[in-house]
Amino acid sequence: MSKAYNFDWQIEVSARLLKGDYFDRWDEENGTLEQNCLFRVDSYGFFIYWQSEGRDGQVIELSQVSDIRPGKGIFISNMKFIRIHSLS
């Protein structure tokens, strides 16, 4: 008879990711910039949600995220420096 094993796969998601924060979102496919998007992560850390002012919210599985850049902001040619907005 097999011994039962308790898989403890879930890690704690930080309160800041659960609460959300405001960032600017650059979409490379159509070259658009969405400012002041509220980004949040679900309690299991599987999905990221974002919503821009005046738009419907969107959801994507975090395994499909291709690029996240750390720092105070990014610089895109022909555009000004993009700032990160924080709730704190």
Question: What letter represents residue 15's amino acid?
Answer: A
- Say which residue, 71 or 23, is predicted with more confidence: 23
Q: How far is CA 13 from CA 27, 44, 65, 78, 81, in A?
A: 26, 7, 17, 37, 30
- Cα separation of the two ends of the chain: 53
Model confidence pLDDT, tens digit, residues 27-84: 777 878 888 889 999 988 889 998 888 888 889 898 887 766 665 555 555 444 445 4
At residue 74, the 3 state secondary structure works out as: strand
pLDDT value of residue 81:
46
* pTM higher than the cut 0.95: no
Domain boundaries, the chain: 16-83
- Say which residue, 17 or 83, is predicted with more confidence: 17
